[in-house]
Amino acid sequence: MSATATATTAPATAAAKERRPGAARAYLAYLGGKLAGAAVSLFAVLVTSFFLFRIIPGDPVKSMTQGRAVSEDQLAALREQFGLDLPLWQQFTDYCTKAVTGDFGTSYQFHAPVSELIWEKVPNTLLLTGVAVVLYTMLGLWLGTRAAWRHGGLGDRLNTGVALTLWSVPGFWLGLLLIIVFSVGIGPIPGLFPTGGMEEGGKEGFAYIADVAHHMVLPVLTLVAVGYAQTLLVMRSSLLDEMGSDYLTTARAKGLRDDLVRRRHAVPNALLPTVTLIFVNLGHVAAGSILVETVFSWPGVGSLFYQALSVPDLPLVQGLFVVFAGAMILMNVLADILYPLLDPRVGR
Amino acid sequence: MHHPESGPFTRLARGIVAAAAALCLLLLGLVAAPASAFAEGAGSGEATPDGKGQKDTLTVAIAQSVDTLNPFTATRLSATNMMRLMYDFPTNYDPKDPSKVLPGLATKWKTSEDKLTWTYTIRDDSEWSDGKPVTAEDAAWTFNKMMTDDGAKTANGNFVANFDKVTAPDDRTLVIKLKKPQATMLALDVPIVPKHVWTKVKNIAEFTNDKDFPIVGNGPFILTDHKTDQYVKFKPNKKFWRGAPAFDELVFRFYKDNDAAVSALKKGEVSFVPDLTPAQAASLEGAANIKVNDAAGKRFWALATNPGAKAKNGKKFGNGHKALLDADFRKALFHAVDRKTIVDKVLQGHGVEGEGYIPPRYEDYFWKPSAEQKIAYDPKQAAALLDKAGYKEKGGKRLDKDGKPITLRLMCHATDPKDKAASKYLEEWWGELGIKTKTTCLDNVGDPWVAGEYDIAFDGWSVNPDPDLVLALHTCDALPNTPKDVGLTDNFICNKKFDSLYAKQIAEYDPAKRAAIVKDMESWLYDSGYMNVLAYPNSVEAYRTDQIKSITAMPASNGNIWGQDGYWSWWSAKPAGGEAKASSGGSSSTGMIIGIAAAAVVAAGIGGLVLVRRRSAADDRE
């Protein structure tokens, strides 16, 4: 494999043409290995989530009953309800047997099944961060390509400078500024967007979709503004690496327009590191962005996680942790599946 | 090169780009959509569905998520406040003076000779929102459920702990038999639920009561919709026996960030915002159409000293400083505390200097020390007291009785900025006495607290109209059974005199006599130096006067609107009327249209870009 890799200096697209008969089998073996690895990781996550959060200081029953009158009878009833009166090993086996079937128990503070609470919020977070990731990835790719192609120029310096500045801005601060300027309105700028939330409520069909989109504009804008620099920089630097390559000279010699040389030859080869980044970002989508969700009162998993940690509401933190980690693992597997398709040198 | 442009990769990449572009367009298209939706409503604010014109909506911004809408398990302030709107309670507190009781679901009550039987008359003019009459049987069922079902004990089990038997001999009579006399029988803050609805609930512990709208209730409002962490909506109960609320709709909207909520208030998206910081209050002072309500709070904010933690079985634990066991030492510490500075600097004026244990809003129970009893700010006297008690100063350091320099550990809540700010002053004031203070701020103070591993801690409780709970915290009975257990106790106080006074007040059914005993207890607590109230912080809140014309505060003179012990504020609120709101609605619609236009331009731009790219791609297909 290493021999092939060093020998193949030709672009990936050309290598794709040279698939050997054993390639399909090799790909399956590669895939099998990756899937097995993912399964092991997921299991490890299940186990750690149980022990990890038991280290958090604080007695859930005590912190839930703080500041109000409770009889000893009530405290005992709560402990029994939560299963906290059982020995740890028994709590662990109970947790494992249930978790395998997707049942993470009942939240201490919300008195409702954890899976229900999580699935109520996950779509909201996916919608917000998903749209933001797609948008900032595209913006980053586009601007990154431009910047690298004419590197050192005014456009490059301006682009990179602006992106880096926005990247350094704390998301919650930018969010608050956007609220002040575009929600409340300053001077001649009227209040264009809602100050927070996801919907007015009571709307249906198209009006509902429009309402949600209207509420999404500012949080998405915030996430895109602070996020696109990453993709831009990775794309820019990996494209710069390709810039001097012989195959680009060949492509130009063929008489292709500069624009096409960039789009069909340089960019595809420079895309691989960016793909990794895209999938890492997609893996984070499920976890959302706690700060931006908070500033815009977006009903996502971020604030749920925060509330779960502060009790600690063990079943809920465990469930969320598994979902967050699971999303990351899933995205890694997807990236692994995609790599060999993008670059046949991988996985051979 | 064999036509790389037709390779699988480029096709894939092009696919991705196309899909993403489509998504992008879709999004922007969506943004543009409200144009049509809102253009219709422009200028009229919100139109009512029945077309009668203006709909008066009272929108309250709240930060705390609702834990559940099930009255048997809901414990958060956000939820319990909504319970007061949804269900009638047996009795209410007078909004003018919260230490007085008013009739609620019960119109009158009497007690037996032996003080063990309470008989309530249930009103006959209350009706469930599904049309069924409210009877004593509903109340009896509610209490019995809490006494027999562990899942139903979670929120209010403490109220029935001393109940022996609850019956409803007829539709209008509720009889509660007690194990021991209990003076708090007119302070049963328990939402009474409709039996015919709740008998169908299988597992009360996991029932969230927010699926079947509208939720059947008999309070001043009927809950019509709830989306977690987004909003809770109510409509007025037109048949409420005390009279229907004036607003057409009451909405609680969740704002996770208080600065954003303040922005929403400035814009007029919400009518009311509670829990303002001094900085937020200052930013709203003088703003057009906004009134800031700097209300007397329900809480006291105190310093608790560790009296030597012990359990009911007599075992001592924890590691409180030995010097704190000396009453003179404790007194000297508090002589060095300048409460005026605490109120002026830490609370920035939004509070009242602390005196007795119960805040002044409860006139009947408020107590303050006499002139000679008062531990006033007097650093010289503090130093003299320490000298006299045998804590000598040497080289600027105060020594304990073993001759070692004294260092006190001060525990603060990392989540409470006023704790941190006050600790700086305390360090300085006690430092002048030669006592070193080491402050530790924790997110969760529960663990060291329960283990008795602190010297002095910031403490604070919200005090109910009936003071029983905050007094019970300091009885020997509240201590943990063993050092491993957790008790109701606040800071391990256990004293015979206090306990006997506590027993006396709980059995005293005459309000005036009971209040006198409660004041004796406060006096003892003050002298003990185990609890020293620094201040009663205000609750600062604000509302839009162009949306709310009038609203009842509790107590009437300088009270709060959010978090009342009752439904008075929202029930009594009167809408401000049309013009002001129409103009705000108009401006937001104009804004909306401009926003949409901007979005459309961007969408067109992106669309154009995609077209250009497609065309250039087509050029290459020659």
Q: How is A71-115 classified by DSSP, letter by letter?
A: -HHHHHHHHHHHTTTS-HHHHHHHHHHHHHTT---B-TTT-SBHH
Q: Is the pLDDT of residue A8 over 80?
A: no
Which range in A198-207, A239-248, B188-197 is most confidently predicted, on average pLDDT?
B188-197
Q: Are B311 and B481 within 8 A, CB to CB?
A: yes
**Among B residues 305-344, those touching chain A with beta carbons less than 8 Å apart:** none
Residue pairs spanning A and B at CB distance below 8 A: 249
Mean pLDDT, chain B, whole residue set: 87
Please report the pLDDT score of residue B594 as a whole number: 53
Residue B373 — pLDDT band, cuts 50, 70, 90? very high
Topology annotation, domain A3-342: MetI-like fold (1.10.3720)
Burial class of A275 by CB neighbour count within 10 A (0 to 12, 13 to 18, 19+) = middle
Asked if the Cβ–Cβ distance from B158 to A131 is below 8 Å, we say no
Please report the pLDDT score of residue A152 as a whole number: 86
CA distance, residue B613 to nearest chain A CA (Å): 11
> What chain A residue is nearest to B227 in terms of C-alpha separation?
A201
Q: Does A169 touch chain B (CB under 8 A)?
A: no
Helix, strand, coil percentages (3-state) for chain B, rounded to 5, are 35, 20, 45
Q: Which of B211, B226, B257 to mutate to test the interface with A (most CBs of A within 10 A)?
A: B257
The proportion of chain B whose per-residue pLDDT surpasses 90, expressed as a percent, equals 74
Residue range A311-339: average pLDDT?
Answer: 88
In the three-class reduction of DSSP (H, G, I as helix; E, B as strand; rest coil), residue B23 is classed as helix
CA nearest to B363, candidates B473, B518, B569, B472: B518
Q: Does B379 touch chain A (CB under 8 A)?
A: no
Q: Are B465 and B93 within 8 A, CB to CB?
A: yes
Question: Among the listed ranges A168-182, A299-313, B430-444, which one has the minimum average pLDDT value?
Answer: A299-313
Residue range A81-101: average pLDDT?
Answer: 84
pLDDT tens-digit readout, B321-368: 999 999 999 999 999 999 999 999 999 999 999 999 999 999 999 999
Asked if the Cβ–Cβ distance from B228 to A247 is below 8 Å, we say no
The proportion of chain A whose per-residue pLDDT surpasses 90, expressed as a percent, equals 29
Q: Counting every residue, how long is chain B? A: 622
**B342 lies in some domain:** yes
Please report the pLDDT score of residue B82 as a whole number: 96
CA distance, residue A147 to nearest chain B CA (Å): 18
pLDDT tens-digit readout, A128-150: 999 999 999 999 999 999 899 88
Please report the pLDDT score of residue B18 as a whole number: 47
Pairing of strands B436-442, B407-413: parallel
Residue range A15-38: average pLDDT?
Answer: 75
Q: Are B252 and B231 within 8 A, CB to CB?
A: yes
**Among B residues 156-215, those touching chain A with beta carbons less than 8 Å apart:** 157-158, 161, 205-208
**Among B residues 90-149, those touching chain A with beta carbons less than 8 Å apart:** none
Residue B33 — pLDDT band, cuts 50, 70, 90? very low
**B371 lies in some domain:** yes
CA nearest to A108, candidates A135, A134, A129, A81: A81
**Among B residues 563-602, those touching chain A with beta carbons less than 8 Å apart:** 587-588, 590-592, 594-595, 598-599
Asked if the Cβ–Cβ distance from B230 to A299 is below 8 Å, we say yes
Domain that holds residue B479: 299-537
Residue B588 — pLDDT band, cuts 50, 70, 90? very low
CA nearest to B543, candidates B61, B57, B64: B61
Residue A53 — pLDDT band, cuts 50, 70, 90? confident
Q: Residue B475 is encoded by which pair of tokens?
A: 């009885």
- Alpha-carbon distance B2 to B8, whole Å? 13
**Among B residues 435-474, those touching chain A with beta carbons less than 8 Å apart:** 443-444, 446-447, 450, 461-462, 468-469, 472
**B509 lies in some domain:** yes
**Among A residues 248-267, those touching chain B with beta carbons less than 8 Å apart:** 250-251, 254, 257, 259-260, 264-265, 267
**B483 lies in some domain:** yes
Please report the pLDDT score of residue B606 as a whole number: 56
Work out the end-to-end distance of chain A between its first and last CA atoms, rounded to an integer number of angstroms. 6
The CA distances from residue B224 to B185, B197, B249, in Å, are 32, 16, 10
Please report the pLDDT score of residue B41 as a whole number: 32
Asked if the Cβ–Cβ distance from A106 to B10 is below 8 Å, we say no
Mean pLDDT, chain A, whole residue set: 84
Q: How is B177-227 classified by DSSP, letter by letter?
A: EESS--GGGG--------HHHHTT-S-GGG--S-SSSSPP--SSEEEEEEE
**B339 lies in some domain:** yes
Q: Which of A116, A195, A337 to mutate to test the interface with B (most CBs of B within 10 A)?
A: A195
- Alpha-carbon distance B219 to B84, whole Å? 7
> What chain B residue is nearest to A290 in terms of C-alpha separation?
B256
pLDDT tens-digit readout, B47-76: 444 444 678 999 999 998 899 999 999 988
Please report the pLDDT score of residue B582 as a whole number: 35
Question: Among the listed ranges B220-234, B290-304, B596-610, which one has the minimum average pLDDT value?
Answer: B596-610
What count of other Cβ atoms lies within 10 Å of the Cβ of residue B35? 17
pLDDT tens-digit readout, A255-287: 888 888 888 888 888 888 888 888 888 887 777
Between A106 and B410, where is the model more confident? B410
Asked if the Cβ–Cβ distance from A121 to B161 is below 8 Å, we say no
Residue type, A45: V
The alpha-carbon radius of gyration of chain A (Å, integer) is: 25
Q: Is the pLDDT of residue B559 over 90?
A: yes
Residues on chain A touching B73 (C-beta within 8 angstroms): 111
> In this structure, what are the phi and psi dihedrals at residue A57, rounded to the nearest 5 degrees?
-70, 155
Q: How is A163-179 classified by DSSP, letter by letter?
A: HHHHHHS-HHHHHHHHI
Q: Does A177 touch chain B (CB under 8 A)?
A: no
Q: Does B16 touch chain A (CB under 8 A)?
A: no
Residues on chain B touching A62 (C-beta within 8 angstroms): 446, 450, 486
Asked if the Cβ–Cβ distance from A342 to B12 is below 8 Å, we say yes
What count of other Cβ atoms lies within 10 Å of the Cβ of residue B621? 6
What count of other Cβ atoms lies within 10 Å of the Cβ of residue B326? 18
Q: Are B95 and B564 within 8 A, CB to CB?
A: yes
Residues on chain B touching A198 (C-beta within 8 angstroms): 230
Asked if the Cβ–Cβ distance from A307 to B267 is below 8 Å, we say no
Give me the residue from A17, A74, A137 closest to B154, CB to CB. A74
Q: Is the pLDDT of residue B17 over 70?
A: no
Q: Does A105 touch chain B (CB under 8 A)?
A: no
Residue type, B503: A
Residue B30 — pLDDT band, cuts 50, 70, 90? very low
Residues on chain A touching B447 (C-beta within 8 angstroms): 57-59
Q: Which phi-psi region, left, alpha or beta, contains residue A10 (left: φ > 0; alpha: ψ -120 to 50)?
A: beta
Give me the residue from A192, A196, A206 closest to B594, CB to CB. A192
Q: Are B602 and B28 within 8 A, CB to CB?
A: yes
Please report the pLDDT score of residue B602 as a whole number: 57
Residue A3 — pLDDT band, cuts 50, 70, 90? very low
CA dihedral B77, B80, B84, B87 (to 10 degrees): 170
Task: State how many domains chain B has.
Answer: 1
- Alpha-carbon distance A93 to A239, whole Å? 51
Burial class of B335 by CB neighbour count within 10 A (0 to 12, 13 to 18, 19+) = buried
CA distance, residue A341 to nearest chain B CA (Å): 8
CA distance, residue B174 to nearest chain A CA (Å): 24
pLDDT tens-digit readout, B493-530: 999 999 999 999 999 999 999 999 999 999 999 999 99
Q: Does B620 touch chain A (CB under 8 A)?
A: yes
How big is the CA angle at B501 (ends B496 and B503), to the nearest 5 degrees? 95
Residue B146 — pLDDT band, cuts 50, 70, 90? very high
pLDDT tens-digit readout, A228-263: 998 999 999 999 988 888 888 888 888 888 888 888
Asked if the Cβ–Cβ distance from A265 to B30 is below 8 Å, we say no
Q: Does A9 touch chain B (CB under 8 A)?
A: no
Q: Which phi-psi region, left, alpha or beta, contains residue B566 (left: φ > 0; alpha: ψ -120 to 50)?
A: left
- Alpha-carbon distance B462 to B617, whole Å? 69
The CA distances from residue B306 to B117, B300, B411, B528, in Å, are 40, 18, 11, 12
- Pure H helices in B438-480: 446-450, 468-472
Asked if the Cβ–Cβ distance from A297 to B257 is below 8 Å, we say yes
| Contacts of A260-268 spanning 24+ positions with Cβ under 8 A | A260/B5, A260/B620, A262/A145, A262/A149, A264/B4, A264/B5, A264/B10, A265/A11, A265/A13, A265/B4, A266/A149, A266/A239, A266/A242, A267/A145, A267/A239, A267/B13, A268/A11, A268/A12, A268/A13, A268/A342, A268/B7, A268/B9, A268/B10, A268/B13
